[in-house]
């Protein structure tokens, strides 16, 4: 097969969400910066499916790429806000005249279950610790508490403010004008978007490709169309990454991706404790690995599973430095497992903190009675049926026991943070109590050390390990392509199937119901799913 990189002139095509690790995307952009075969980058990111911090990492890599003097152009059909955020690194943004981007700011909608529980006979028996631990509010309220409204408002304004600053600086738009553009949804109408400096050129995709053909100064060939010639000189990001030389002989920085809810068990559905404990032990046994970067993108989950993972990381820290890189969310249990770190990096847009604990035991006896089901029981002791049954109200003893357990777990959480962050218990408690913070505020109050992306964390880990020449290796081992194919064939990829059939709202409701089922035992979990869109 002809080597793509034998060509004297190539354009690097970065389209929607390649199917490989973030570190590989960043490495590809970094290599392209100094690769004489690459003359520029074409962005065609209609619907970037990553999160805000992933977008920031990629955006920063593209800004660095531009220091080479090479070009970046962007083309959009119908984009989302994060796609546009990345596209603003381009020298010019081309927009399909019948498309548009819904630049509208950020919002967070919470689903409340209390009325449904009252209607159908489910009593959500919840116990929490922390003024701001609003994870359980949906079970006993029908709207947001003032404390919760305060933290969510501050969070969204911090995140949007950071994105807005980058966009307005790149596009040379005043903050006031951008507020008007956002409030008026001007970007959704291409002509209005162009008038207000959101887009540079309104053009069909073929016209955009003709521009690239001229930019590369390609020669016409009567036997081929211009687009066929351009395609010959275009390489997609995943194909480009596959051309990079393997560096198996070098010392390694391991990157452990911890993404999703934290649960007990073995598998790849989120962060399952046995899978991650096994991965950490494999890292410890790999003599070529000299440092670990723990990439966290998690709202938390099971307290027990979080403790299992943290304990294993603390064992590993005796052997090598550990640097943590926060993604979009590193909160509650996601923040808990970061407490074995030498340094924590976050983005200003990161959602973090939520240092708090809660427990919930639903009582659905009334619901079952309403549909004709009755229950009777025999027990050996006063509380034999407590803390596990879905048809029993909490006894005073069980409630008191659960409360004590939550307070003890919260104390352990705060102590871990205090030790790792070199703070007192009272200092952590003051900024804890379940409150969620943006990365911007988290750095101010000492919950993170530096602003930076995954590459910054990798460089710091290598520096702490005192290694100069190194490559990265990713953990945990994912399913290979055949296993993924079989999982899809057998209908095991449930979320993907639901998303395909019911769309965004359908998958959101499914995840909410799934979360209810997962919330067994003590939980170090963020208030709810905050999606930055």
Catalytic residue IDs: 133, 332
Cα 59 to Cα 97: distance, rounded to the nearest angstrom: 25
DSSP 379-428: -SSTTTTTTT-SS-PPPHHHHHHHHHHHHHHHHHHHHHHHHHHT--HHHH
Distance CA 336, CA 313 (A): 11
Q: What are phi and psi of 80, to 5 degrees?
A: -110, 175
Please give the Cα distance from 519 to 361 (Å, whole number).
9
Give CA–CA dist 337/317, Å, rounded: 13
Task: Return the residue matching tokens 């639903």.
Answer: 362
| Residue 485 CB burial class (10 angstroms; 0-12, 13-18, ≥19) | exposed
Answer left, alpha or beta for residue 387, where phi above 0 means left and psi between -120 and 50 means alpha. Answer: left
Distance CA 396, CA 463 (A): 54
Query: Closest by alpha carbon to 188, among 74, 92, 55, 98?
Result: 98
Query: How long is the chain?
Result: 533
The tokens of 7 are what? Answer: 């060509």
Dihedral (C-alpha) 59, 108, 172, 192: value to the nearest 10 degrees?
120
* Rounded CA separation 368/157 (Å): 44
Is 162 strand, coil or helix? helix
Token pair belonging to 346: 């976050």
- To 5 degrees, how large is the angle CA 319–CA 298–CA 49? 120
Q: Label each residue of 69-138 as H, E or C.
A: CCEEEEEECCCCHHHHHHHCCCCEEEECCCCCCCCCCCCCCCCCCHHHHHHHCCEEEEEEECCCCHHHHH
372 contacts: CB under 8 Å, gap ≥ 6 = none
Sign of the dihedral through C-alpha 388, 393, 398, 404: positive
Q: What is the CA radius of gyration of the chain?
A: 25
Distance between CA 59 and CA 416 in Å, rounded?
Answer: 34
Q: Are 15 and 62 in contact (CB under 8 A)?
A: no
Structure tokens at 279: 């991965």
């Amino acid at each position: 097969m002809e080597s793509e990189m034998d060509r004297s002139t190539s354009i690097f095509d970065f389209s929607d969400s390649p199917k490989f690790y973030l570190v590989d995307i960043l490495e590809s952009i970094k290599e392209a910066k100094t690769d004489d075969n690459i003359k520029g980058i074409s962005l065609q990111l209609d619907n970037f499916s990553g999160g805000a911090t992933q977008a920031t990492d990629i955006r920063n890599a593209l800004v660095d790429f531009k220091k080479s003097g090479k070009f970046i152009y962007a083309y959009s059909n119908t984009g989302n806000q994060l796609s546009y955020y990345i596209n603003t690194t381009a020298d010019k943004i081309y927009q399909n005249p019948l498309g548009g981007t819904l630049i509208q700011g950020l919002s967070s909608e919470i689903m409340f279950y209390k009325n449904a529980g009252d209607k159908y006979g489910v009593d959500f028996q919840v116990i929490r610790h922390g003024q701001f631990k609003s994870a359980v509010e949906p079970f006993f309220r029908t709207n947001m508490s003032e404390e919760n409204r305060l933290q969510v408002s501050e969070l969204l304004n911090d995140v949007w403010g950071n994105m807005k600053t980058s966009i307005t600086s790149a596009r040379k738009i005043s903050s006031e004008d951008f507020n008007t553009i956002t409030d008026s949804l001007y970007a959704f109408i291409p002509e209005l978007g162009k008038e207000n400096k959101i887009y540079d050129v309104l053009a069909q995709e073929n016209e955009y490709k003709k521009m690239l053909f001229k930019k590369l100064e390609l020669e016409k060939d009567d036997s081929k169309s211009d687009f066929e010639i351009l395609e010959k000189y275009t390489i997609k990001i995943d194909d480009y990454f596959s051309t990079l030389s393997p560096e198996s002989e070098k010392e390694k920085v391991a990157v452990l991706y911890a993404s999703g809810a934290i649960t007990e068990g073995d598998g790849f559905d989120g962060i399952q404790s046995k899978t991650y404990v096994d991965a950490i032990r494999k890292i410890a046994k790999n003599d070529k690995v000299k440092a670990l970067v723990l990439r966290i993108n998690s709202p938390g989950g099971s307290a027990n599973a979080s403790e299992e993972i943290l304990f294993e990381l603390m064992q590993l820290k005796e052997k090598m430095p550990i640097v943590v890189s926060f993604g979009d969310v590193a909160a509650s249990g996601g923040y808990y497992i970061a407490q074995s770190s030498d340094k924590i990096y976050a983005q200003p847009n990161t959602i973090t903190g939520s240092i708090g604990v809660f427990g919930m035991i639903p009582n659905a006896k009334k619901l079952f009675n309403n549909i004709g089901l009755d229950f009777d029981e025999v027990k050996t002791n006063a509380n034999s049926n407590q803390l596990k049954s879905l048809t029993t109200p909490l006894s005073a003893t069980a409630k008191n026991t659960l409360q004590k357990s939550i307070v003890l777990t919260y104390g352990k959480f705060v102590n871990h943070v205090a030790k790792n962050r070199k703070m007192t218990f009272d200092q952590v408690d003051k900024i804890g109590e379940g409150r969620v913070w943006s990365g911007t505020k988290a750095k101010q109050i000492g919950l993170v050390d530096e602003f930076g992306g995954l590459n910054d964390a990798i460089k710091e880990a290598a520096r702490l390990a005192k290694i100069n020449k190194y490559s990265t290796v990713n953990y945990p081992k994912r399913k290979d392509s055949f296993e993924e194919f079989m999982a899809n064939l057998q209908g095991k990829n449930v979320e993907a199937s639901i998303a395909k059939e019911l769309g965004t709202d359908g998958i959101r409701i499914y995840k909410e119901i799934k979360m209810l089922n997962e919330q067994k035992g003590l939980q170090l979990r963020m208030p709810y799913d905050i999606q930055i869109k």
